[in-house]
Amino acid sequence: MQADWTVAATPTSGPLSARKLAALTPRPPASHAANTNTFLAEAGEALDHLELPPAMRRLLLTPQREVAVELAIRRDSGELATFHAFRVQHDDSRGPFKGGLRYSPEVDLDDVRSLASLMTWKTAVMDIPFGGAKGGICCDPRQLSERELEALTRKLVQALRPVLGAHTDIPAPDMNTGAREMGWFMDEFSRAAGFTPAIVTGKPVHLHGSLGREAATGRGTVFAIRELLKAQGLGGIAGRTFVIQGFGNVGSWAARILHEQGGRVVAVADAFGAVAADAGLDIPALTRHMAAGGSLASFPGGTEMPKERILAVPCDVLIPAAIGGVITEANAGSLQCTIVAEAANGPITPDGDLVLRRRGITVLPDIYCNGGGVTVSYFEWTQNLQSYRWTEKEVNAKLDRAMTEAFRGIWEVASTKGLPLRTAAFVIALQRVAQARANRGFD
């Protein structure tokens, strides 16, 4: 996907328009942004439950700024390579733009635009003082050396610096990025602006990161599942069965914490394979196996299975924790669970969501379920601004409270209005953003 345009004779001197660069990008148009807006606007969804004027609806759905840049670096081979990169700033009515940076061959403007919108609703439903943004570089990080990745990250900071700031837009890790990249990001921004640890979150703990940040999204997902089970009168985590699709940072941490709390993780899949055990996988042993270089499918404590079958494994709770769009109208009928917890961003398409509703499968929506990451990012940002570090116990306790309070609000709206949890979450988020927009005025 990258091969058609990686080598250029000369780099561009400045940002291209997002529309022009998107048109030049050699890939078929995606539909992530359309999916997000469908959840908001169509078939009795969130916007139809709010009496908002048409102009306000357009404001809520339209990003404030879209930036597209072309990054040129010298490869280890001496070759000059260029990479498309994007930053979409959707809304900052409630606070600075906030959202991750992903490095993936699948990154395009539509994808980033959709994820930026989801960040606006996520920060609003979690009631933290941020807006929504997202960014990324279209590259395959597996094909780049550490030096090349560092050079690419620093070029991204240089290109986006005019629209970033600790009180303007604060990036964070996302797909294929982590503490290492955030450390490079902070260093490059600080070279021009002076020491600015609050410019980015998800940094290494020894470089002004927050304790508890690495596990935050997975831990928040477990808190969300716990609250739903309690609300439905189904007890707690202990004894329940779980299937996790995706065993990266989010999926692996969710598995560890579920295991610690007595849950049975009966199947796990990643991009390369899957493993299952009816009695429950030994998650600590699986984690050690993979840390030693073993593959998921080769874990001796379970039975290898085709990764394509992971969504249909019987369980109480299915946790898609990888990429978007994996549960569709075509496969939603094969799920054998009572709850789907969206630890990934956008793992269910709108048509797939309708199938799950008809089947009575409850969905914990992504704008709430995976909100633990941005919540602890907020804690990290706050600690950086105060130059004061909280203990991990404090961070986890504050995250627990934030996830619990957000769920209670969603559950109350869903119960009183007879809405699905996703629609209820969007109603809350839209109300908060619309109110902030109106209160700040339009002149």
CB 413 within 8 A of CB 424: yes
Name the catalytic one among 134, 155, 203, 307: 134
DSSP string for 257-296: HHHHTT-EEEEEE-SS-EEE-TT---HHHHHHHHHTT--S
**How many other CB atoms are found less than 10 A from the CB of residue 268?**
31
CB 88 within 8 A of CB 112: yes
CA pair distance 379, 363, nearest whole angstrom: 27
Q: Residue 238, Cα to own-chain centre: how many angstroms?
A: 27
Range list of β-strands (E), 312-414: 317-320, 339-341, 362-364
For residue 432, the one-letter residue type is: R
CA terminus-to-terminus distance, the chain: 44
- Strands 303-305 and 274-276, bridge-based pairing: antiparallel
CB 420 within 8 A of CB 363: yes
Residue 269 main-chain phi, psi, to 5 deg: -135, 150
Residue 134 catalytic?
Answer: yes
CA pair distance 347, 343, nearest whole angstrom: 8
Those residues whose C-beta lies under 8 Å from the C-beta of residue 385, and which sit 6 or more positions away, are 166, 198
CA-based nearest residue to 410, from 395, 431, 396: 431
Tokens encoding 198: 């609050």
CA-based nearest residue to 173, from 105, 98, 108, 74: 98
CA pair distance 161, 181, nearest whole angstrom: 16
Which of the residues are catalytic? 134
